[in-house]
């Protein structure tokens, strides 16, 4: 089953990534990693706000006390307002100047979860981390190569994770109280022809929506790993997806244009845009970072 799409924001991002719905402000946040920018889009007014950064930003997330958490190349930084001064909460891998944080999300306790990767994407140069509101960093798993999609089952007992280089979607047993993620194991093994598994979002029925870089599509998998739905897109490099809208019944999809040839860009004028799909299911409210 293939579903239709619409373009909602055409920003020509080099690597649009990490979309997250900020329910408190009814707006969409996402990053342009290579462009060193973050965006906020208000669907009601159509207004787009952009902030330029000095470092690559793997993710940006709302904070419980207001403002935002920026997951930058050298660690997690905080601001009290969108445009406020940045203050570093914690460095991540401070002795590794050639790695950076990539995809990062919050669990329901407001802790950050995400991994690092090498700037040149070399194998086994990163790790998966948990960062609590006080800035304590805990290594959870590794080595990893390209940490990407992360999310939780609706009942919170499972954490899903993608290291793109493995061409797999893995699952951990998860304990929200202790913040433990254990017994990592494969759930889905992807064919190389599908593209590179990238960002991910879980719907309220437990379905896993995975964006496939170089795969022209977002695919939904059932909780037991069976492919049951496909959204085919007009761009080669979908990067991630999230649920948003007032009723969390819209699926927003980011994309990239970095590395495409001039000929490919002529054929894909929407590369780097943000798309929306009506998936027929709803997602969950994102918990703001507790830092």
Note the pLDDT tens digit of each residue in 56-92: 999 999 999 999 999 999 999 999 999 999 999 999 9
In sequence order, what are the residues at sequence separation of 6 or more whose Cβ sits closer than 8 angstroms to the Cβ of residue 228?
1, 207, 220, 221, 222
Distance of CA 132 to the CA centre of its chain: 18
pLDDT at 287 (0 to 100): 97
Note whether residue 247 is domain-resident.
yes
Place of tokens 């090498």: 118
In sequence order, what are the residues at sequence separation of 6 or more whose Cβ sits closer than 8 angstroms to the Cβ of residue 77?
69, 70, 86, 87, 88, 89
DSSP state of 74: T
pLDDT at 2 (0 to 100): 52
Structure tokens that stand for 28 in this block? 């969409």
SS3 of residue 136 by DSSP: coil
Note whether residue 249 is domain-resident.
yes
Q: What is the CATH number of the domain that holds 36?
A: 2.120.10.30
Exposed, middle or buried by CB within 10 Å (0-12, 13-18, 19+), for 148?
buried
Note whether residue 1 is domain-resident.
no
Note whether residue 255 is domain-resident.
yes
Structure tokens that stand for 56 in this block? 């690559």
Exposed, middle or buried by CB within 10 Å (0-12, 13-18, 19+), for 191?
exposed
Note whether residue 288 is domain-resident.
no
Note whether residue 287 is domain-resident.
no
End-to-end CA distance of the chain, in Å?
Answer: 41
Range of the domain at 13: 6-277
Main-chain phi, psi angles of 273, to 5 degrees: -85, 170
Structure tokens that stand for 4 in this block? 């239709």
pLDDT at 6 (0 to 100): 96
The overall average pLDDT reported for the chain is: 96
Question: Which segments of the chain have a pLDDT < 70?
Answer: 1-3
In sequence order, what are the residues at sequence separation of 6 or more whose Cβ sits closer than 8 angstroms to the Cβ of residue 141?
127, 128, 161, 172, 181, 184
* Residue 85 annotated to the active site: no
pLDDT at 4 (0 to 100): 87
Is there a contact between 275 and 283 (Cβ–Cβ < 8 Å)? no
Element (H, E) at 262: helix 262-267
Note whether residue 213 is domain-resident.
yes
Which residue is catalytic, options 198, 203, 214, 228?
198
Count: domains in the chain: 1
Is there a contact between 68 and 82 (Cβ–Cβ < 8 Å)? yes
pLDDT at 1 (0 to 100): 46
Note whether residue 134 is domain-resident.
yes
């Amino acid at each position: 089953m293939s579903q239709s799409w619409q373009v909602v924001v055409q920003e020509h991002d080099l690597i649009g990534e990490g979309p997250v719905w900020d329910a408190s402000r009814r707006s969409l946040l996402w990053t342009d990693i290579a462009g060193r920018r973050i965006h906020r889009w208000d669907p009601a007014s159509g207004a787009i706000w952009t902030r330029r950064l000095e470092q690559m930003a793997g993710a940006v997330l709302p904070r419980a006390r207001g403002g935002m958490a920026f997951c930058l190349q050298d660690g997690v930084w905080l601001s009290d307002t969108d445009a406020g001064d940045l203050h570093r909460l914690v460095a991540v891998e401070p002795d590794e100047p050639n790695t950076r944080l990539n995809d990062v999300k919050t669990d329901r306790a407001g802790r950050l979860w995400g991994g690092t990767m090498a700037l040149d994407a070399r194998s086994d140069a990163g790790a998966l981390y948990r960062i609590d509101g006080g800035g304590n960093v805990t290594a959870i798993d590794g080595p990893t190569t390209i940490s990407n999609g992360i999310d939780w089952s609706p009942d919170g007992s499972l954490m899903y994770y993608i290291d793109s280089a493995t061409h797999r979607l893995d699952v951990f047993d998860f304990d929200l109280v202790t913040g433990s993620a254990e017994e990592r194991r494969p759930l889905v093994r992807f064919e190389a022809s599908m593209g590179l598994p990238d960002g991910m979002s879980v719907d309220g029925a437990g379905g896993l929506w995975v964006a496939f870089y170089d795969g022209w599509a977002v695919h939904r998998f059932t909780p037991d790993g069976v492919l049951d739905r496909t959204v085919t897109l007009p761009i080669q490099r979908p990067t991630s997806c999230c649920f948003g809208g007032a009723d969390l019944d819209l699926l927003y999809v980011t994309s990239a244009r970095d590395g495409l040839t001039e000929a490919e860009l002529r054929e894909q004028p929407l590369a780097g845009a943000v798309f929306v799909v009506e998936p027929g299911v709803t997602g969950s409210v994102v918990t703001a970072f507790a830092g």
